[in-house]
Amino acid sequence: MRPKLVLFGDSITEESFGDGGWGAALAHHFSRSADIVLRGYSGYNTRWALKVLDRAMDGASFGEPPAAVAVFFGANDASLLDRSSGFQHVPLSEYGANLRAICSLLKEKWDSTIVILITPPPIDEDGRIQNPYGDNLSGLPERTNKEAGAYAKACVAIAEASGLPVIDIWTRMQKFPGWEKSFLRDGLHFTSLGNRVLFEEVVRKLKDMGLSLETMLVDQPLFYDIDPKDPLKTFCN
């Protein structure tokens, strides 16, 4: 049975199968080696994700534990409490507790599954002001990069304390000049270039964990392995 790689996250995950999305890129990359299973929930924070975890994972494994689950929450948790997205806010301490609980439940459900944490991304505050959520009468961003960074730091700390692999996309993206507009189309969600950065990081992290095109079996014989003189012979083994 083909391995499953599950993507569990918020809107950045939900839209990852769109044109140029990081999930679609993973599906293409592993097209003959693994199935990418999408579990993205726009607007969700870790509090809500924890509530729906069991139902969300129903059918994700198809009888076999997934090879890996990428957990990508925090952007909504880091919404500022006194701004237009305040109802999505989760205090930093609770965010950490929720994230640990999500990882523990996944490992209890599938002890052989690799759980990879992804930090919330950086925030372009100007982009959020230009693309506000709801009636933003204050003219202030409902998220800040400083706050997102605090949640990203907590995510990394939890991964390290739990012995889990982590992708610090908050730090990684900011290593590139002009990241604000190059990687974020509205100050939060990814452009095609932003999607590409995360895709490459996920592929690199999966490879570090032993999941790569070099180590995974190919589903069914490749075309160039089929004997043109006796094609059906290939499928008899």
Active site residue 42: no
Catalytic position from the list 11, 182, 192, 212: 11
Q: Please name every residue paired with 184 in a beta bridge, in sequence order, or none if there are none.
A: 190
- At 41, the amino acid letter reads Y
Report the distance separating Cα 6 and Cα 63, nearest Å. 14
Q: Radius of gyration over alpha carbons of the chain, in Å?
A: 19
Buried b (16+ CB within 10 A) or exposed e, 127-154: bbeebbbeebeeeebbbbbebbbbbbeb
Is the separation of the CB atoms in 156 and 148 below 8 Å? no
Would you call 11 a catalytic residue per the annotation? yes
Q: Which residues pair with 6 in a beta bridge?
A: 37, 69
Q: Catalytic: which of 35, 168, 186, 219?
A: 186
Catalytic residue among 16, 29, 84, 189: 189
75: Cα within 13 Å, side-chain hemisphere: 26
187 φ/ψ sector (left φ>0, alpha ψ -120 to 50, else beta):
left
- Give CA–CA dist 161/128, Å, rounded: 33
Catalytic residue list: 11, 186, 189
